Chains A and B, each alone.
Chain A
Amino acid sequence: MDKSRPAEPSRRRLLSLAATTGVATALGGLPAFTASAAPRRPTDAPLPKGSSRDQLWWQAPADEHSMIEQGLPIGNGRLGALASNDPGRELLLITDATMWTGGLNDTLDSDGQFPYGRDDFGSFTLLGRLTVDIPDHDLSAVSGYRRTLDLAQGVVSTSYVRSGVTYERQVFASRPDDAIVLHFTQSGGGRYTGSVTLDGTHGETVRGTSFGAAFPNGLRYGAAVKAYGTGGSVRVKDALIEFSECKDLTVVVSGGTNYAPDASAHYRDPSLDPEKLARTKVAAAAAHSAGTLLRTHVADHRALFEQMELSLGTSSDEQRSLDTWERIRARALDDTPDPELEASYLQFGRYLMISGSRGSLPLNLQGLWLDGNDPDWMGDYHTDINIQMNYWMADRAGLSQSFDALTDYCLAQFPSWKKLTQDLFNDPRNRYRNSTGKVAGWAVAFSTNIHGGSGWWWHPAGNAWLCASLWEHYEFTRSRSHLVRIYPLLKSACEFWEARLITTTLPGTSREVLIDDRDWSPEHGPQDAQGITYAQELVWALFDNYRTAARELKKDSAYAETIGGLQERLYLPKVSEKTGWLEEWMSPDSLGETTHRHLSPLIGLFPGDRIRPDDSTPPEIVKGATALLTARGMESFGWANAWRSLCWARLKNAENAYQLIINNLRPSFDGGNGSAPNLFDIYEVEKGRGIFQIDANFGTPAAMIEMLVYSRPGHLELLPALPDAWAKSGSVTGVGARGGFVVDLRWRDGRPTEARIRSVGGRTTTVAYGRSSRTVTLKSGGSVTLRDFAR
């Protein structure tokens, strides 16, 4: 896990390009669409068998107009697609994580804030669309239709019968071959006749089997397709590929952009011709049989997927007989736990993370998936919960590798963020500017893009929250190289706050404290409040983490001491005498909406853990936090429910935490809040209009794991919030624990029966269950199995 890697992205890219002998797993750090080494092919061993436990299935396809609710996502971490699986017209809406309009966006609006449009700030957009038309296989003409998403294999498959012949197809996005593969087969003497079309979505001209173009922002992009079959004929005709009377057919598509995660190169690699590279890639992949491509992909995908196994109990035969969408509906209607469905919801989140976050940009508001070129909020990176929530799951769910995309992103954006901050933050029109007149370090706005730019309003504490996420990854992995990489971000964020914090005297006392300047508790209440709890907590954690980082790296001891001094003087929130809630605005009054979606003032409860339901935290603070969480209510939507669930898990209220998970599992009808048929989380922005936001697909699994294992450096607690629904028996492997451990856990009748603690760098931790606790000391790589837990 502690892979050493060069710190400079641009240099890393060059190294990757030079590397031709590396094994597949060493390619994990490739920053963009780039030439890749020959994949390591698994031996000719048969494909591992899929298990129904890891399969979601449906009895209907998507069509062109329902892709975001019904399309099935695939992805290789950079290159993704939503697949319709329509027998007569397979449609893939293809995305590349770097396919963005917009730019640095460094001219502020008249209010000192950032423009936020698709041309200036930019937007995540589609790379292309691939259709495979098989006119004779119209959905109305086939029977026994079924499609399956095998989460463990990373393969979408479709089967149906047409005139007595069973037709099957598999669709997957291979990371080793850096291509999307569609494989069409049949049994019973059938033939495939139809056409393959690759199109752009930005008015590009397709020449034969590929296209290439550039956005006004200079980003070049391109894609290519190749098809081959047995029997019959496959030939290119103008802008499409016609196939006729083929016994089977393989279609390979790839594409990308010349995005480079390097501020000094203005985020471009001028030497890269994406269309040409795409052609090279599909030609290379097409040199192999579909079976070989599949085995290569499955081996690569499974290696990650198998890092966590989960059972939350056994479902009934009737539940098992239902397809995924029926099951989602039955779960909500009958209010009967469906432990296997609930476990597969978590595994679906892991599948999305493996598919959407490897070696390229991090998961944005829609992960890696789009159904058009106008995603809500640009499909950007929102820094006031969403991008952080996307990654709460990674380490907890045994996917630490997937976290790297976030680290890579922050580091690549850092020089731009810093420059924009120092040039623009103290613009006199910016209501959030530092009244000290000083500015240092870096900050971001509520939205960030991939060009070093920000969008919408300044968000001073966003830097501290990003740093908190980066720091937690260090706590989970104890990766020293990661710590070395993120240290400059932490330090620079500290410098920002050192310049920004203002001194105030607490009313009725002579005590001077440091508080945040005029600021907005995210999307809630007054926009010029000083000392908002959100910022106070985040800056407190930033300072604390920075001091630890400096100590562990044996660097900047004097500066760490300065920061320690500031930390001591930071104001921390108290409980309002009026409301009984932990205050959000340094005011006893509630200045916003009681049930507001954001839990900003509870950030010290989760993801922070300054507020703990134990002796380390004054009981009145825990009580005030609990009262506020209670007031916020149980009926919100996706990410807001997930965050609430995580907070209740931290407070060890298993049933509340569980109910909020179940709320997100409710079926979404007509754009209502809940899960779409494809399990994408839908947020109802207005009656009848729901939008896909992926954060809940990660935040909800994070909450599920947090209910099973709580951790902080030096302390680990088993089953802190196990709900009755999962209590009978269950098991989980590969849970990341802060402090540098991985936990495998089994339980029965609500109690742990066995816990295996492995060190991935951690040394000593207490392992608690209920009131009992024991101390474990391990060498890195060592493990211990614990049994006999008493309550």
Chain B
Amino acid sequence: MRSSSYAPTAPARRSLRALLVLALTAATAAALPSAQAATPTPAPTSTSAAGTSALAAKPYMGWSSWSMQSSKYPGLNPDGDYSYLTEKNVLKQADALAAKLKPFGYEYVNLDAGWWMDQAWKPGFDEYGRQKADPGRFPRGMKPVADHIHGRGLKAGIYLPVGLQKEAYGEGKVPIWNAGDCTTADIVYGDLRTTNGWDSAYKLDFANPCAQKYVDSQARLFADWGYDFLKLDGVGPGSGKNGDQYDNVADVAAWNKAIAATGRPIHLEVSWSLDIGRIADWKKYSNGWRIDTDVECYCNTLVSWENSVDDRWDDLPGWTRHAGPGGWNDLDSLDVGNGEMDGLTKAERQSYATLWAIAKSPLYTGDDLTKLDSYGVSLLTNREVIALNQGSMPPARPITPSNPQQVWAAKNADGSYTVALFNLADKPAAVSADWAALGFTGKAAVRDLWNRENLGTYKDKVSQALPAHGSRLFTVTPRGAALATTGYEAEAAANTLSGNASVADCSACSGGKKVGNLYVGGKLRFNDVVVAKAGTYQVKVAYVSGDPRSVEVSANGNGSTSHKMPSTGDWGTAETVSVPVSLKAGTNTITFDSGSGYAPDIDRIDVPKSS
């Protein structure tokens, strides 16, 4: 029995903004494209085949059009919603990226949704049911855009929703390019079941080889145009959808195959709010996956803190371990370049950039690169911070619970630690990183990455004042000794379990067991925690929790503190965080109480021998 069976399933995140796009799409679905642009002639590519393994060796860096397209910031979209996306604007941003950010590693210029839509959001398709450049937005078609971008030494990205867009169906009679007799009727299900996050497309039926041919034909087009990156959007399970109808893993696999067949290395990014349960598929077929809904606020700024930058701190930890060369956790656009347009305080912008950097999320900004302010430039071009993101450091994860004041860290190859302090509260607070939570004692040298200065040597911990929604980013180099701890297994017979709490098997747990069923009054009490001296101890808690859950921790029957434990991503993975517990000299009890809710399963605790 596992406590996870009692877990109420969190409702899948729905993206209201994404639904908004859907509404616009639906409203224009009946219209057929009238203007026909010249279809680029497919030409054999001279590019030698490159496996996807060469792609995404590091999180990609660049710019995306969607933040500005989706914003109601005055002047950005004068010709209607999403109208920012035009050749002129894209090339202007590409030029600015090349001039200002390329020296720091930014290289992708990614067009988002709408390149085949007119300003009324009416789509256009070629005679093979493939998206066709909107002549209003891209009068010269898509290839010259990529050429211009390449001419600046940059890479070009393009976008598609998953599935066959309804408007491309053409009563099933539209031929598929280079696919014999295949028509659109052959590539979808007979019942025209819809798919994707907006239900804007018919689901492709890969049982019929024509479907792969259709994807191949799209990939061919992009390769011929010279695109280096594709964002495949509305992909499920995810994008607010689940169930067979919205399972697009086959689509992503088809794209992976189709891209390989083109011989052109094209980075494949899938979006949005992907189902973590299918991470193996995303890893297998793509180079990155959006873990969350849009970061944009669809408001008068590009983003806002509450909607939805701040969600990432809770939503990311379960994904952390899945990031690595070839595929990264995509936190969405990094809109920190212009405070006024971003709609964020300086502190919020720094925290935003800090999390993206240490999470090893792709770093692509959605800002107007022609209007970066000096603080924005300093955030986007800090070489030490970029080096964390692009270097060998593993992605950081929380080493404390997800409380308003929290600490994330990663151990670097040289033995130092990358440590980020966050204050997610709406008022200033001091935040401390305890060396004990990092696993060592004594002194450590602290370098402040954002401010590019060495702060000196700190004993036991570093504490700093952080503004509301603020952060600090340090490299901590230990000068002390490894921390000596005493371990206590949750399943030990000496402990007291109450309520429904029970011991369960757990292959990922030390000793192969854990204590679960900590819900609605379930408690686990460690009875014989011995320390020599009274003090506050950083107790490392190993736990399993498929979603973020809170637990009340107390010692010796004193007042308890509620700690929100970050998700471990599933119910078969154990992670650790450290919680401060005030202990007396001698024997103590430490209690994990589910209170009125559901708590994580507890594997073990490790108590430092000294406070």
Complex CA gap A70/B468 in Å reads 12
The 8 Å CB contact of A62, one of B427, B463, B561, is B427
User: Known: A65-B426, A139-B428, A141-B451. Is A334-B582 also a contact (CB below 8 A)?
Assistant: yes
Give the CA-CA distance A333 to B455 in the complex, in Å: 32
Q: Which of B346, B350, B465, B467 contacts A59 (CB 8 A)?
A: B465
Say yes or no for B430: interface residue by CB 8 A criterion: yes
Instruction: Tell me the complex Cα distance, A323–B559, Å.
Output: 19
A409 to B559, CA, bound (A): 44
Cα-based distance from A318 to B467 in the complex (angstroms): 26
Asked if B241 is at the interface of the complex by the 8 Å CB criterion, the answer is no
Query: Are A140 and B428 closer than 8 Å at their CB atoms?
Result: no
Chain B residues in 8 Å Cβ range of A325: 430
Contact with B along A299-339 (1 / 0, CB 8 A): 00000000000000000001000010100001011110000
**Residues 140-170 of chain A: 1 if any B CB is under 8 Å from the residue's CB, otherwise 0?**
1111110000000000000011011000000
A139-B467 CB under 8 A given contacts A60-B430, A334-B582 = yes
In the complex, residue of chain B having the shortest beta-carbon distance to the beta carbon of A59: B430
With a cutoff of 8 Å between Cβ atoms, the chain A residues found around residue B536 in the complex are 318
Asked if A66 is at the interface of the complex by the 8 Å CB criterion, the answer is: yes
Q: Which of B427, B471, B561 has the most CB of A within 10 A?
A: B427
For residue B453, CB closer than 8 A to chain A, the reply is yes
Chain B residue numbers with a CB within 8 Å of A59 are 430, 463-465
- The reply to whether A60 and B346 contact each other, CB–CB distance below 8 Å, is no
Q: For B73, what are the chain A residues with a Cβ–Cβ distance below 8 Å?
A: none
Interface residues on B, range: 20 to 34
B19 at the interface (CB under 8 A from A): no
Please tell me if B604 contacts chain A, counting CB pairs below 8 Å.
Answer: no
| A140 with B472: CB separation less than 8 A | yes
How many angstroms between the C-alpha atoms of A324 and B347 in the bound complex? Answer: 24
Which chain B residue has the least Cβ–Cβ distance from A89? Answer: B467
* Bound: A375/B214 CA distance, A: 66
CA distance A251 to B337 in the complex (A): 34
Say yes or no: A66 contacts B427, CB within 8 Å. yes
With both beta carbons as reference points, the residue of chain B lying nearest to A333 in the complex is identified as B559
User: Which residues in A have their C-beta under 8 angstroms from that of B346?
Assistant: 138, 140
Smallest CB–CB gap between A521 and chain B, Å?
A: 35
**Inter-chain contact A334/B451, CB cutoff 8 Å:** no
Q: Does A61 contact B (CB under 8 A)?
A: yes
Which residues 427-442 of A sit at the B interface, judged by CB distance below 8 A?
none
Contact with A along B184-227 (1 / 0, CB 8 A): 00000000000000000000000000000000000000000000
Residues of A within 8 A of B430 (CB): 58-60, 145, 323, 325
Name the A residues within 8 Å of B582 (CB-CB).
Answer: 330, 333-334
Report B448-464 residues with CB < 8 Å from chain A CB. 448, 450-451, 453, 455, 463-464
Task: Give every chain B residue within 8 A of A275 (Cβ-Cβ).
Answer: none
Q: How far is the CA of A60 from the CA of B347 in the complex (A)?
A: 14
Residues of chain B with a CB closer than 8 A to A60's CB: 428-430, 465-466
Residues 327-346 of B contacting A (Cβ, < 8 Å): 346
Contact of A140 among B426, B450, B453 (CB under 8 A): B450
**Is A143's CB under 8 angstroms from B464's CB?**
yes
Chain A: residues with Cβ within 8 Å of the partner, total of: 31
CB of B535 closer than 8 Å to a CB of A: yes
Q: Is A609 an interface residue (CB 8 A)?
A: no
Is B427 within 8 A of A65, CB to CB? yes
Q: Is B534 an interface residue (CB 8 A)?
A: yes
Does residue B470 face the partner (Cβ distance < 8 Å to A)? yes
A160 CA to B561 CA, complexed, in Å:
30
What residues on A are CB-neighbors of B448 within 8 Å?
A: 143
Q: Nearest CB to that of B536 among chain A residues?
A: A318
Most buried by A among B346, B464, B472: B464
A63 on interface, CB distance cutoff 8 Å: yes
Q: Return A131 CB to nearest CB of chain B, in Å.
A: 15
Task: Give every chain A residue within 8 A of B89 (Cβ-Cβ).
Answer: none
Q: Taking the nearest CB of chain A, how far is it from the CB of B468, in angstroms?
A: 6
> Within the assembled complex, what's the spacing in Å between the Cα atoms of A140 and B351?
10
Residues on B with beta carbons closer than 8 Å to the beta carbon of A335: 558-559
Distance between Cα atoms of A139 and B453 in the complex (Å): 15
Which residue of B has the minimal Cβ distance to A61?
A: B428
Chain A residue with Cβ nearest B375 = A138
Contact status A65-B468, CB under 8 Å: yes
Candidate in A58, A59, A142, A335 with the most chain B CB atoms within 10 angstroms: A59
Q: How far is the CA of A677 from the CA of B470 in the complex (A)?
A: 18
A58's nearest neighbour on chain B, judged by CB, is B430
| CB-based contact A140/B535 at 8 Å | no
- Nearest CB in chain B: distance from A554 CB, A: 59
CB distance from B536 to the nearest CB of A (A): 7
Q: Does A695 contact B (CB under 8 A)?
A: no
Instruction: Kindly identify which residue among B463, B466, B467, B558 contacts A333, using a CB–CB cutoff of 8 Å.
Output: B558
CA gap between A144 and B455 in the complex, in Å = 9
- Chain A contacts for B466, CB-based, 8 A: 60, 139-140
Establish whether residues A140 and B470, one from each chain, have CB atoms under 8 Å apart when the complex forms. Answer: yes
A323–B431 alpha-carbon span in the complex (Å): 12
Contact B350 A140 (CB under 8 A): yes
Q: Closest chain A residue to B470 by CB distance?
A: A140
Please judge, given known A-B contacts A139-B467, A143-B448, A333-B559, whether A163 and B427 are in contact too, CB under 8 Å: no
Nearest CB on B from A107, distance (A): 42
Q: Tell me the A27-84 residues at the B interface (CB within 8 Å).
A: 58-63, 65-66, 69-70
CA distance A62 to B467 in the complex (A): 8
Q: How far is the CA of A332 from the CA of B558 in the complex (A)?
A: 9
Q: Which B residues lie within 8 Å of A63 (CB)?
A: 427-428, 467-468
Q: Which of A58, A66, A330, A332 contacts B468 (CB 8 A)?
A: A66
Q: Which residues of B are found within 8 Å of A139, using beta-carbon distances?
A: 347, 428, 465-467, 470
Bound complex: CA A139 to CA B430 (Å): 11
Is B428 touching A70 in the complex (CB atoms < 8 A)? yes
Q: Is the CB of B426 within 8 A of A66?
A: yes
Residue in contact with B455 in the complex, picked from A69, A143, A330, CB distance below 8 Å: A143
A63 and B427 alpha carbons, distance in the complex (Å): 7
Query: Which of B347, B429, B450, B455 lies at the interface centre, i.e. has the most chain A CB atoms within 10 A of its CB?
Result: B429
Complexed CA–CA distance, A161 and B448 (Å):
13
A63 and B463 CA atoms in complex are apart in Å by: 19
A333 CB contacts on chain B under 8 angstroms: 558-561, 582
Contacts of B471 in A (CB 8 A): 140
The proximity string for A residues 80-123 relative to B, scoring 1 for CB distances below 8 Å and 0 otherwise, is 00000010000000000000000000000000000000000000
B467 — which chain A residues lie within 8 A by C-beta?
A: 63, 86, 139-140
B535 proximity list for chain A (CB < 8 A) = 318
Contacts of B428 in A (CB 8 A): 60-63, 66, 70, 86, 139
* Minimal beta-carbon separation of B431 from chain A (angstroms): 9
Beta-carbon nearest neighbor of B427 in chain A: A66
Q: Which of B386-424 contact A (CB under 8 A)?
A: none
The docked-state distance in angstroms from the alpha carbon of A161 to that of B458 is 14
Least Cβ–Cβ distance between A38 and chain B, in angstroms: 40
- The distance from the CB of B519 to the nearest CB of chain A, in whole angstroms, is 24
Known: A66-B427, A333-B558, A335-B558. A61 touches B465 (CB 8 A): yes
User: Which of B427, B428, B429, B463: most chain A Cβ within 10 A?
Assistant: B428
Inside 8 A of B347's CB, which chain A residues have their CB? 139-140
Residue among B347, B468, B561 facing the most chain A CB atoms (10 A cut-off): B468
A142 to B455: give the CA distance in the assembly, Å: 10
Min CB distance B122 to A, Å, is 45
Chain A residues near B453 (CB-CB < 8 A): 163-164
Q: List 17 A-B contacts (CB under 8 A).
A: A58-B430, A60-B428, A61-B428, A61-B465, A63-B467, A66-B427, A66-B468, A70-B428, A139-B465, A139-B467, A140-B451, A143-B448, A145-B465, A161-B455, A318-B536, A333-B559, A335-B559
Cβ-closest 9 pairs across A and B: A59-B430, A66-B427, A145-B465, A60-B465, A333-B559, A60-B428, A139-B467, A60-B430, A60-B429
Supply 20 further A-B pairs (C-beta < 8 A) apart from A61-B465, A163-B451. A59-B430, A63-B428, A66-B426, A66-B427, A139-B347, A139-B470, A140-B347, A140-B450, A140-B467, A141-B451, A143-B448, A144-B464, A145-B430, A161-B455, A164-B453, A323-B430, A325-B430, A333-B560, A334-B582, A335-B558
